[in-house]
Structure formats: structure tokens, C-alpha cells
Chain A
Amino acid sequence: MNKPEYRQTTFLGLRKEAIANIFPFINRLSQNWNEEKVIHPFRVVLNKEISDHVRSWRFIILILLISLTCLGSIYTALANFSKAAGPNDPDGAFFFLKLFTITDGTLPSFVVFISFLGPLLGISLGFDAVNSEYNHRTLSRILSQPIYRDYLLNAKFLAALTVISVMFFALGFLVMGFGLVNIGIPPTVEEFLRILTFVALSILYVAFWLNLSILFSVQFRQPATSALAGIAVWIFFSIFYGMIVNLITRSFAPSELAGENQVIAFESFKLGLLRVMPNQLFSEATSTLLMPSVRSLGPLSMEQVYGTIPGPLPFGQSLLLVWPQVTGLLAATLLCFALSYFSFMRREIRSR
């Protein structure tokens, strides 16, 4: 490979090196934009995947859909804001968080929207990740370039994740900005941290669905099949799974005369079954983060509740409370990724 030659550009009569010496920061910046720099192959794949997402109609449609729903939920939240903060509300001190959770019943809140649309976003960004390369016959050509095979899979995942992260952080900050302008009360540091954690959690949640759909895209050759499989899992979890759990647990529900311990054991068992769903994990985690008064996610006995004063938990404690949920989501995400990685790396790539 030829060594790239360095251009002698001048700026205001100064040699480039001279400028570089005066402003090392500018020099570093301009080097990033330097066309002569060799970019690591992984970055090349990543850049291409990100620009594919950003250019695609699919992404434009999704971003329109999600911004619209967000605008709607902010609107209802702001319209009902005065009613929301009652005098006896333990969350009353956390004005700002209410932006994300309150609703008048006509339109779901921001949190509900995200938990509903997140899977759709994840599935639609990943369902054709690998099989479209295959169907357009680009896969064997790209894999015959001197790159490791997992670069492609990792870049596909990371590109979609980057796009989602940027989008979610932008949306989260937009909601905060709107709220700030409209209610005029700045968020406290704790509220800000809670919102940031919530956004990060939403990204993790979408990452799970993204990985699931990438797994399907490795498994199924037809993009339509893999999209359908992703949507089927989504619908199963959001509609049917809860019903099935109810159906199963009803048969051995404790009688009304049963002791407290028995009831608690039953309720925890039922909750445990429900927590297989990523939706459940996500909604538990977000409600704890955005409603600081939530202090337990399982059933509590009278003994435990007795004598407690309803009050908000500090941020650290809330985080500690949702830690199992976060770990569960992360584990599910990693499991999907590992499965698709395993399946993709072992596959023989033929051109047709």
C-alpha cells in the first residue's frame, strides 16, 4: 500500500503544521476529517451501517412516528400538569419526572409509549440485518475482504444501537426542554440523573429487541419471515403471556383463608413467571426510576409495611431496587447476541 502523501495546505498564509502547533485541538479535529487517514475496517463497516440506517426510509418513518407520539404525550402531560401534583402526593417533590408519567387517560404517557414502540423500533432496525446482505448477494463479497466475520455482525448491532441511542437521548432531552420552557421549574440533579438512567434503560430495552430481530435475521432467510417472527414474539409477550400466566396460576391460587406466607409465596411465584417477559422488567424498572415513591417491586407483608412513612427513595436506593431487572434485561440481550453470533460464525457462506 502506498504511503499517503501529506498535503501542504495553507490557511491565512500559515502552513498547516504552524496552525497545528498553535492549536493542537484543531489539529486533532482536522485529522479526524483527514481524507488521507486510514480508517480501521471495523469503523468503515460501522460508518456504512449507520449511514444506511440514517438514509433509509424506514428510519425516517420510525422517527416521524416516535416523535409524533412523544409530542402527543408531552402535550397531554403538560395539559394535566396542574392537576397532577396533589398536596398529599409522595412524588410531589419530583415535579419534573411527572412529565414522563402523567396522562389524562386519552393518550398514554411517554413511558408507556416508549415501552410500546421500543420493540417495534428494535425489530424494524434489525430484522433484515444479515439476510438482506445474503439476498442481495453482498455477503460473500464482503466476507472475502480482509475483515473478521464478526465485524459485520458487531457493526450491524452497534450501528443500530448508536442510531437508537442518539435518537432516545435527543427525545429525552427534547421532552425535558419542552417541560422546562412550559413549567419553568428546572429539574434537580437527582431528577436529571433519574431521567438519564431511564433513557439508558430504554436503550437497553430496545437493544434486547434489536438483538432478537438480528438473531431472527441470521436464522431466517426471508426478511418478511424474520420480521414476522420478531413481531410475533413482541405480541406474544405484550398480550398473551400475561393471560397464560394468569391461566396457569389460577389453578393453584391459595384460598381466601390461606395464611399470609402462602399468599406471598404465590404472588412472588406469579411475579417470577411474569418477569420472564422483558416488557415486565422494563416497566418495573422505569416505574421505580420515575416514581421515587415506589419502594418495593414484590408483594409486601403487613409486617413489612407497618410503620413506614410514604416517602421517596433516594436515587441510589431506587437504582439498587431495579438492579435485578437491569441485569435480567442485559442477560436476555446478551443471550440473543450470543446465539446469533454462534449461528453466524459457524455458517458456511455461499454466494447463493
Chain B
Amino acid sequence: MDGNIIELVDLTKKYGSFTAVNQLNLSIRKSEIFGLLGPNGAGKSTTILMMLGLTDPTSGSVTVCGINPTTNPIEAKRRIGYLPEDVGFYYNRTGAENLIYTAQLNGSPEKLASQSAEQLLARVGLSEESGKKTGKYSRGMLQRLGLADVLIKNPEVIILDEPTLGIDPTGVREFLDLIVALSREEGITVLFSSHDLHHVQQVCDRVGLFVGGKLLAEGDIQSLSRKLFAKSPYVIEARLSVKEEEKSEGELIFTAARLQALLINISGVNEVTKTNDLFEIGCSSDTTAEIARVLVDAGIGILHLNKKEYGLADIYYRYFEGGIGHE
């Protein structure tokens, strides 16, 4: 198809009787940021290895930039920049030397290589450390050097395997910003694998959910949440203060059922659940204002009322429950 830079068709990889990747179909458009999301051992890394031609699929096919990496890995690897999980460098060489080495492996003459190494080191904020041996780099610095290493070959696609692992929160933020900026400026397609929902949510245009070697769902975050929480797309969280006399009546204090009884007249309220002190009201439409009015009229104090946005975390957990159930 036009505009699709990565096409996976019925991709399957088996290790003996264990199926790491099962009948995977996925297409990624040019210059989008795609997040591969899944728990450890879901087959994300195996899929990436097959895209690079570092391992052969058992069946199915991979096409990257119009090239089949299984049969023509060299051409594919010329176009794909790959940042492996927990990237390493030659510790007895400086950052710049490591970059120049990669550039030369990609057929760049030495002078050009050292120029672009310098530029990229400045780009990822390592100019001052360029003369330092990479053995002395911190984890975050290594990761940034890894990004420079990926970019020095002028790739069309970059694949980042768990790039945020082991970096501190500010480092992660800078790193993600860098990725987004690069993708937007250079039009590079980014494939980003992670099990950290938060990071994926921050940067990715679309995500694919991986569980047990299968792609369970794919799409942008809004459409995923709409699909998943079709029954109650809106959830309102409420923390209420109830008067003392009402509390002492009986063992069961203010229950979810009592709240539901109160809210029964508001159209769109589907269900009320309670965890500890927090009520969750599932609605089919946004009814926050009406709920507030009813509660105030009933003389119940509102400590906290919040319309909950479904994040990737909720999608993820919901899929997990569902995903395990399906199999």
C-alpha cells in the first residue's frame, strides 16, 4: 500500500513449540510515531529482530521501505536505525569515535563522519562529553549517544527498543522530546517499543498492543479507549463527605447502592462502584454537572469530583484482563 513504510503480513515466529509472534499483521505509515506496547516477553523484540533481518520469520513476510529484510538484510539495515534495548558502546573509545565507527560502517568517509558525529553529539547534548570514553558515561548519556548512533546513518525508519529503560524522569522527558522533534523535523518514521504506558502515551501517534505474541488492538489512544469502554466511556470520580449522624447509622455506611439510588434520575448514569473512599460513576455521557447538583441538593459534601480521562494504563489493564480471558 502507498504510504505504508512497514508492512507485516501474517508474521509468525516459533521457537520449538513456543510461539513468540503469532500471525501478526501490522502496517505503519510513513513519518508517524508508532508505539509497540506490551509486557515483557510479548514478542516485541522478536518482531523488531525480524524487521531487521537479524532473525528469520517462521512464516509470513516483512516489508520495510519496500525491502524484504529476510532476504536482503543489508539494504534494509542501511535504511533502518536500530537502538537495541540496553545499548552498549566500546567502552575504551570516546563517544565521537564510536559514532565515527558506525558512520564508516555505513560507508561514510572519515571526514564527513567526524563532521556529522560532531553535529549529532551537539544535537543530543553530549558535545562536552564527546572526548570522554564511553565507559565513563552514565546510563542516560549512553542512551542519548545511542540515539545519535542511530541517526548518523540518516535512516528512514528508526526502531527504538525500550529506549526509556533505566533513565531518570527528567532524562526520559528530554529523550522523548528529542525523538518527537526529530520525527517531526526529518520526517523519520519511529517505531517505539516499551512496556511503560506513560512514555508511549506521551509521544506516540498510534499504538499497537501486544500480548502473548498477538496484536490485540491497534490505533490511536482515543479510538482505543472508545472501542474498549463502549459501555461507559465517561467515568466520574467522586470523594464525598457524609455527615456524622448518617455515618453512624448501621454498619454499612454510605454505599455505592445508596449513591446510585440518589443518581437514578440522571439519564446516562450506568453504574456506581466504590473502592475505599472513592466512588466511580460510569456514564454514557458527560453528566458531571448534574451529578454535582444532585449531590449538593442531597446535602452531601463534595470533596473531590473529577472526570476521568482514560489513559493508556486503563486500556492496557483492560486488555490484559480481556486478553488473558480470550486465550
Report the count of interface residues on B (CB-CB < 8 A): 38
Residue of chain B at shortest CB distance from A2: B112
A contact residues around B280 at 8 Å (CB): none
Per-position binary interface string of chain B over residues 58-98, scored 1 when its CB falls under 8 Å from any chain A CB and 0 otherwise: 00000000000000001101101111111111111000000
B contact residues around A348 at 8 Å (CB): 49, 54-55
Q: In the complex, how many angstroms separate the beta carbon of B73 from the nearest chain A beta carbon?
A: 8
> A35–B92 Cα gap in the complex (Å)?
23
Report the count of interface residues on A (CB-CB < 8 A): 31
The contact of B87 among A2, A36, A44, A141, by CB within 8 Å, is A141
Per-position binary interface string of chain B over residues 97-118, scored 1 when its CB falls under 8 Å from any chain A CB and 0 otherwise: 0000110111111111000000
A4 adjacent to B88 (CB under 8 Å): no
Residues of chain A from 108 to 155 with CB closer than 8 A to chain B in the complex: 136-138, 140-148
B109 adjacent to A352 (CB under 8 Å): no
The 3 nearest A-B residue pairs measured at CB: A137-B88, A351-B84, A144-B82
A1, A55, A148 — most chain B CB neighbours (10 Å): A1
Q: Does B195 contact A (CB under 8 A)?
A: no
A146 adjacent to B87 (CB under 8 Å): no
> A1–B85 Cα gap in the complex (Å)?
28
B77 adjacent to A146 (CB under 8 Å): yes
> A254–B81 Cα gap in the complex (Å)?
70
> A141–B111 Cα gap in the complex (Å)?
22
Per-position binary interface string of chain B over residues 135-157, scored 1 when its CB falls under 8 Å from any chain A CB and 0 otherwise: 00000000000100100011000
Q: Does A350 contact B (CB under 8 A)?
A: yes
Per-position binary interface string of chain A over residues 216-247, scored 1 when its CB falls under 8 Å from any chain B CB and 0 otherwise: 00000000000000000000000000000000
> A137–B79 Cα gap in the complex (Å)?
22
B contact residues around A38 at 8 Å (CB): 107-109
B105 adjacent to A45 (CB under 8 Å): yes
B84 adjacent to A55 (CB under 8 Å): no
B52 adjacent to A145 (CB under 8 Å): no
Q: Does B237 contact A (CB under 8 A)?
A: no
Given A44-B101, A55-B92, A351-B161, CB of A144 within 8 Å of CB of B111: no
Chain B contact residues, majority secondary structure: mixed
Q: Would you give 25 A-B contacts (Cβ < 8 Å), ordered by A?
A: A1-B107, A1-B108, A4-B109, A35-B109, A35-B110, A39-B104, A39-B109, A41-B107, A52-B90, A137-B88, A138-B89, A138-B90, A140-B54, A140-B84, A141-B149, A145-B105, A146-B74, A146-B77, A146-B105, A146-B106, A148-B74, A349-B49, A349-B55, A350-B45, A351-B87
B contact residues around A349 at 8 Å (CB): 49, 54-55
Residues of chain A having any CB pair with chain B under 8 Å: 1-2, 4, 35-39, 41, 44-45, 48, 52, 55, 136-138, 140-148, 348-352
B87, B89, B90, B102 — most chain A CB neighbours (10 Å): B90
A contact residues around B84 at 8 Å (CB): 137, 140-141, 144, 351
Given A136-B91, A146-B74, A348-B55, CB of A41 within 8 Å of CB of B105: yes
A contact residues around B154 at 8 Å (CB): 1
